[in-house]
Amino acid sequence: MAPVYVSVIGGSACPDEIAALGEQLGVLLAERGCVVVNGGMSGVMEAVARGVRRRGGTCVGILPTLDRRDAAPDLTLSLCTGLGHARNLAVVASGDVVIAVGGAWGTLSEIGLARSIGRDVVLLESWTLRRAGSDTGESKPAGRSAADDLPDGLHQARDPASAVDLALALAARRVPGTEGTGSRYNA
């Protein structure tokens, strides 16, 4: 069986707590046999690569620059693009599913790109996003949570373990060859 490719996105600068989540995520993904893809630089990307390497896994970094010396030290492979932020599309398109950890504006752009090509995104201490018009100021009906207001294809995780479990479940539902606008799944 082919490995699941998981794109992990997050800021190039992050607090220690977010870096720790990224490293733990990398460890868990490697233990589950995933190929991890990220932007190959510092911050969350470097932390995830460090976690993957600790467990002998594979982490591919898609660099925005033309210089491999810019890469995080623990990557298994680094691919130079010279595309700057445009490489964000290659990062999210390379995964069967995407996990966002923390993040800044580049991460938000990657979330949007991932959804525009039909990739599900698991949010872990990342952006707070909701459907347009969902914040009416009214109380939520019984049994309805803030997660119910997430736009289609966005999923909230509470910790790295639940993020990995959710990402792998979503990847298993994905039908290869159905990329494009929106998500398409087996029934």
* Residue 165 confidence (pLDDT): 97
* Residue 21 confidence (pLDDT): 97
Q: Is 28 exposed, middle or buried (0-12, 13-18, 19+ CB in 10 A)?
A: buried
Span 10-58, pLDDT tens digits: 999 999 999 999 999 999 999 999 999 999 999 999 999 999 999 999 9
Span 134-185, pLDDT tens digits: 655 554 445 545 555 678 899 999 999 999 999 999 999 975 654 444 444 4
Domains and CATH numbers, the chain: 5-130+147-173 (3.40.50.450)
Span 84-138, pLDDT tens digits: 999 999 999 999 999 999 999 999 999 999 999 999 999 999 998 876 766 555 5
| Helix, strand counts (H, E) of the chain | 5, 7
